[in-house]
Amino acid sequence: MLPRLAATCVGIVAIERAVGVVAGGASSSRPSPHARLCDASDGALARGVRPGQRIVDAQRCAPDLQVVAVDVAGLTQALHGVAEQLYRHAPACEPVAPAERACLPFFAVVVDLAGLPRPPARTLAELAAAVAQTGHRAVVAASSSRALSLAVARDMAARPSRWGRAQLVIDDRGPERLAVRTALRTRLAVEALELDRDVVDDLRAAGVACAQDLVPLLRSGLVERLGVAAQRVRPVLVDAADLDDVDDLVVPWRPPELVVVARELEHAVTALEPLLFVLRPLAEDVLRRLDARGARLLELTVALRRQTAAPTELIVGFPAAVTAVDVVVRVLQARLERAFAQQRVGHDGVRGLVLRASRTTPARARQLEGLGSPPSSGSSSGTTAASLAAAPLQGAIADLCAEFSAELGEGRVGCLHPTRAALPEHMTALLPPGVAADADDDRVAGSAAAPRRGRRPVTLDPRTAHGRFAAGWPWPLSMLPTPVRLASLEAVVDERLFCQLDGVDDDGPYEREYRVVVFADGRRALCVWDAETSERFLCGWFD
Amino acid sequence: MNVPAVSSEPARLLRRLQSDAGAGRLPLALGRAREESAAGDDPLSAWWSIPGAVVELSALPGAGALSVAFALALRARAQAVAARRPGWLCALDPAGTLSAPALLHLGVPLDELLVIRPPPDRALACATRACRSGVAAVVVDVAAVDDLSRWSVPLRRLTLAAEEQGAAVLLVTSARARREGPLPCAARALVDVAPPGAGGVAGARPPAPGASAALVLRPVRHRHGLPPRVLCTPSSSVIAALVAEQVRH
């Protein structure tokens, strides 16, 4: 079995190897002391400096360390030049830039070896020679998986002494597949998996040293911790010999839901007042989206993109969950006043805004509000439990609700809820999705159209139960918003009593008699009989 | 009770149904239009539940088109759930007439049915956005709209969104609405109350309160050729029995 993919991890940073250590990911000339090293000179390596280390940690091994920040744009351009050279040896080459926060930010070229006539080992040697001709150092690894090839190449480039070679062909498609992959995972450092540095730090703190150590963590919430990055880990962990369902464990990951709202401004804003004017609808949008997801805001991150200077980021924490936009805007105003004074934001001008809900909490209180009055003891306790058990909405549906609520207004988007004993006109009321109604309540629970206001429970005719007539009729599927005088419609050929309702409405006590009428063409409708005028009014259609 | 074998291929199913009817084994799948009944096990869903397309059901109020639309939406939902996709339903209800108990009786999961009440002229635009949000089926009830003469363009947009997402769109229109021409839908049927004794079906009794009346779907257009006429025997708003008939045109 021939491996199909080769990852050529190009040592472009070797251009600066004579200088010393190169800090990856930083674009400015003075990298942060917490920036990670992506490569080191031989002298630095001999003194214990390792790629992936923070600069402060590396300086403990080599206090006289010289740090050079790489020019990412220049390296990317050079990488494309290398890829052009490799096109001579393989028909498909893809330059791969490192992730922004990757531990080992090596540039790489992925080469498809499928269909090449020569043996993989010889092709790999040719690829390495071709890269060397461009003046860069390269390690080459080939396997059946792109992610695995990249990870191995990264690890080989970062820890050459451990691997002892610059070219490696992994035959991981044969009968010894499981053993080969397990051995590989045991040798592969967790830094080589292109995970974020913070995640790697957490994993290291949890005792994870190599990729094989991740396998037992799969059942302990590793996928949830990794989030989107789980996709990168999956090809490496698949075929774990001691875990049959690893694929099931890794695949159904749910990406963390982030509520982010951004706005680009046509002109730079230099004053606070117009900036607040722009911020308010954005904050409203964030709150609305959170509301639709059943969450409340605890912390808001505001990034101000400035005209020339680096972006300013403000993190605004709230002591309790907030729902009112006025509160958010007031707090933002106070923070922005300080930012304008201290960081001279106004002097430079703001060209763009990004609001991100960085911390949220489940909206339990909001769900209670959705049920009308605060829950009292007794029958409402079941409602509360049901509300809290409501599952959060799926992201796309939540966004849809938020958009339509903003566009069409409250009460025009939501879910219908079953009511056991309500007036027919209340059966069409909508509740926000995710808010559970109490089936035992005598009203449309939580509906703004049917506030409680001390109403006496409506009594249904004993022949009806759960909104369904004993003879097999449910309530009509289509209820008219206002009754229509039946005399204006076609002739009625048959009529039968449906049910009787009596109770107290806002207008006082009432007694209604509902009948099912059948028209000449066979259609059926629900009518209410007005005893005073002896007239029938159409209430709904059995559609 | 003899229930026909499940088949997803309409022509094969039709032949089976015809042979059953000829042998006196009339297939009456009585019961609610259950959620778990996957699409394709009856002639109604075999012909009229088309994922990724818009199906128009034209009727007068009270003829049962809305019930048929929701029955088809439930079948599309069952298909989506079987494919491990989200099973949300969406109903565009500009008139605000959808009633909760009847939907519940029909088997619609109310907590997974998103009801949107836009102005009538924006119903299709909202349905398009709902389609793009990944719902399994959309029921658009525009039976109260009496002028459909300028609905072709938004309907094409809706069709594209449905194709893109694989959502089934059921468009309920008024049979009396004004049109410049046929709407660009994949299929169109007229829904009407069946005349007494139609097709010799037991459920198609003369309509009387308390008894089950039959609905008939008269195909007008279908992208896979003209399907047979379908009789549905609803217990009021519940699709309870399904029988296929040969086309009589």
Chain centroid to CA A79: 32
- pLDDT recorded at residue A6: 55
- For domain A260-362, give the fold: Dna Ligase; domain 1 (3.30.1490)
Encoded tokens for B46: 């075999």
Burial of A456 from C-beta contacts in 10 A (0-12 / 13-18 / 19+) = exposed
Residues 6+ apart with CB under 8 A from A310: none
ipTM > 0.85 for the complex: no
Does the beta-carbon distance from A413 to B117 stay under 8 Å? yes
Nearest to A518 among B141, B208, B238 (CB): B208
Residue with tokens 């393989």: A90
- pLDDT recorded at residue A24: 35
pLDDT at B14 over 70: no
Chain centroid to CA A138: 37
DSSP A474: B
**pLDDT band at residue B237 using 50, 70 and 90 as cut-offs:** very low
Would you call A56 helix, strand, or coil by DSSP?
A: helix
Please report the DSSP string for chain B in residue order.
---PPP-S-HHHHHHHHHHHHHTT------S---TTS-TTSSHHHHHH--TTSEEEEEE-TTSSHHHHHHHHHHHHHHHHHHTT----EEEE-TT--B-HHHHHHHT--GGGEEEE---GGGHHHHHHHHHHTT-SEEEEEETT--B-TT-HHHHHHHHHHHHHHT-EEEEEEETT-B-SS----SEEEEEEEPPTTGGG-TT-PPP-TTSPPPEEEEEEEETTSPPPPEEEEEETTEEEEEEE-----
Angle at alpha carbon of residue A450, lines to A444 and A453, rounded to 5°: 115
CB-CB contact of A138 with A9 (8 Å) = yes
Closest Cα to residue A426, out of A464, A479, A476, A379? A479
CB-CB contact of A352 with A265 (8 Å) = yes
- pLDDT recorded at residue B137: 94
CATH architecture of A5-173: 3-Layer(aba) Sandwich (3.40)
Task: Please indicate, yes or no, if residue B4 is contained in any of the structural domains.
Answer: no
Angle at alpha carbon of residue A480, lines to A367 and B134, rounded to 5°: 50
Nearest to B126 among A396, A404, A468 (CB): A404
- pLDDT recorded at residue A118: 79
Q: In residues, how long is chain A? A: 543
Closest Cα to residue B112, out of B104, B102, B123? B104
Task: Please indicate, yes or no, if residue B44 is contained in any of the structural domains.
Answer: yes
Range(s) of the domain holding residue B44: 10-242
Does the beta-carbon distance from A496 to B88 stay under 8 Å? no
Sign for the pseudo-dihedral over CA of A70, A73, A74, A78:
positive
Does the beta-carbon distance from B103 to A477 stay under 8 Å? yes
Task: Please indicate, yes or no, if residue B64 is contained in any of the structural domains.
Answer: yes
The parts of chain A modelled with pLDDT lower than 50 are 1-5, 9-28, 252, 365-392, 437-468, 470-472
pLDDT digits (tens, 9 = 90+) for B27-39: 333 233 333 333 3
- pLDDT recorded at residue B124: 92
Mean pLDDT of B45-70: 86
Residues 6+ apart with CB under 8 A from A28: A69
- pLDDT recorded at residue A379: 34
A270-288 CB burial, b ≥16 within 10 A, e <16: eebeebbeebeebbebbbb
A518 touches chain B (CB under 8 A): yes
**Amino acid in position A531:** A
Task: Please indicate, yes or no, if residue B248 is contained in any of the structural domains.
Answer: no
Does the beta-carbon distance from A427 to B66 stay under 8 Å? no
- pLDDT recorded at residue B169: 95
Chain B, residues 45-104, CB within 8 A of chain A, namely 59-67, 70, 86, 88, 95-104
Residue with tokens 């088309």: B50
Measured between CA atoms, the residue of chain A closest to residue B128 is: A400
Strand partners, A5: A112, A143
CB-CB contact of A324 with A366 (8 Å) = no
**pLDDT band at residue B48 using 50, 70 and 90 as cut-offs:** confident
Name the minimum distance, in Å, from the CA of B222 to any CA of chain A.
Answer: 23
Mean pLDDT of B144-151: 88
Higher pLDDT, B211 or B166: B166
pLDDT at B191 over 90: no
Q: In residues, how long is chain B? A: 249
Does the beta-carbon distance from A428 to B62 stay under 8 Å? no
B197 touches chain A (CB under 8 A): no
Chain centroid to CA A387: 23
Same fold, A5-173 and A260-362: no
Distance CA A350, CA A371 (A): 42
- pLDDT recorded at residue A449: 34
- pLDDT recorded at residue A442: 37
Sign for the pseudo-dihedral over CA of B133, B85, A383, B100:
positive
Does the beta-carbon distance from A413 to B105 stay under 8 Å? no
DSSP A141: E
Distance CA B127, CA B130 (A): 5
Encoded tokens for A388: 């809290």
Measured between CA atoms, the residue of chain A closest to residue B117 is: A412
Mean pLDDT of B89-116: 87
Does the beta-carbon distance from B237 to A414 stay under 8 Å? no
Cβ neighbour number for residue A213 with a 10 Å cutoff:
16
Closest Cα to residue B64, out of B229, B237, B210? B237
Pairing state between β B113-116 and B89-92: parallel
Name the minimum distance, in Å, from the CA of A54 to any CA of chain B.
Answer: 43
- pLDDT recorded at residue B172: 94
Strand partners, A297: A322, A360
Phi, psi of B83 (to 5 degrees): -90, 10
| Strands of the A21-23 sheet, one edge to the other | A37-39, A21-23, A67-69
DSSP A49: -
Burial of B1 from C-beta contacts in 10 A (0-12 / 13-18 / 19+) = exposed
A466 touches chain B (CB under 8 A): yes
Q: What is the CATH number of the domain that holds B219?
A: 3.40.50.300
Closest Cα to residue B151, out of B125, B112, B117? B125
Task: Give the count of alpha carbons within 13 A of B68, CB side only.
Answer: 36
Does the beta-carbon distance from B62 to A541 stay under 8 Å? yes
Best of A430, A478, A486, A541 to disrupt the B interface by mutation (most B CBs within 10 Å)? A478
Does the beta-carbon distance from A412 to B66 stay under 8 Å? no
Sign for the pseudo-dihedral over CA of A251, A254, A258, A264:
positive
Task: Please indicate, yes or no, if residue B195 is contained in any of the structural domains.
Answer: yes
Higher pLDDT, B105 or B34: B105
Does the beta-carbon distance from B237 to A543 stay under 8 Å? yes
Phi, psi of B226 (to 5 degrees): -75, 120
Encoded tokens for A201: 């730090």
B115 touches chain A (CB under 8 A): yes
Does the beta-carbon distance from B114 to A473 stay under 8 Å? no
Domain locations along chain A: 5-173, 191-250, 260-362, 459-541
Nearest to B207 among A417, A480, A518 (CB): A518
DSSP A377: S
Distance CA A23, CA A33 (A): 10
Distance CA B138, CA B165 (A): 12
Nearest to A427 among B62, B101, B118 (CB): B101
Name the minimum distance, in Å, from the CA of A542 to any CA of chain B.
Answer: 5
Radius of gyration of the CA atoms of chain A, in A? 33
A428 touches chain B (CB under 8 A): yes
DSSP A531: T
Sign for the pseudo-dihedral over CA of A341, A346, A351, A353:
positive
Instruction: Give chain B's domain count.
Output: 1
pLDDT at B116 over 90: yes
**Amino acid in position A304:** L
- pLDDT recorded at residue B119: 92
